[in-house]
Amino acid sequence: MATETARHTRTWRIGRAAAGALGLIFSLVYLFEGKNLDLGRMGAPGPGIFPLIVGVILALVSVGVIADALLTRRAGSAGFPKGENLKRLAVIFGAFLIYVGVINVVGFLAATVSLVTFYTRMVGHISWLKAVICGIGVTAVVWAAFVLILGVRLPTAMWG
């Protein structure tokens, strides 16, 4: 029994460290791709400030996950999703990939309202009406923060 527990703990730690390493690699690629964007100045941040902040935060979280995996002596209780949860995770990830693919075609507003509405409906188990209201509200707040307050241009539809 002790051997089984030790094996489970080792597998769990390796999995956590691998997930952290993937996150770190992704964040470094993300930072590398965003390095050519203008950071702007303190009073007028440019389009590169958001990717920089997100990339650094993701890198720090990934390093934390790796450190936790290497330093923790016990396995966590979380397991890989199965059945309906795995299907939901795949659908949510697929929706994000579609979002990334269409944001420059349909623009930030349409793509983000659609994504937030879909995520809210999938995760929150609420009506479509409430999900649409949430999608519009969240998108409006994010748009206002970036466009009106920070002066950052967000992707518009390819036709204008």
pLDDT tens for residues 27-82? 999 888 888 888 887 777 777 888 888 889 999 999 999 998 888 777 666 667 88
Average pLDDT over all residues of the chain: 85
pLDDT (0 to 100) of residue 62: 94
Q: Locate all alpha helices (DSSP H) within the chain, ordered by sequence.
A: 2-34, 49-71, 83-106, 108-124, 128-143
How many structural domains are present in the chain?
A: 2
Q: What is the dihedral of CA 110, 112, 115, 116, to 10 degrees?
A: -120
Q: How far apart are CA 137 and CA 28, in angstroms?
A: 32
Q: Among the three residues 78, 111, 128, which one is the final residue of a domain in this structure?
A: 78
Residues 45, 112, single domain; the answer is: no
Question: Residue range 83-95: average pLDDT?
Answer: 90
Residues 15, 84, single domain; the answer is: no
Domain housing 158: 80-160
pLDDT (0 to 100) of residue 123: 84
pLDDT (0 to 100) of residue 59: 94
Residues 89, 146, single domain; the answer is: yes
Residues 111, 140, single domain; the answer is: yes
CA distances (Å), 128 to each of 42, 96, 116, 143, in order?
A: 40, 19, 11, 22
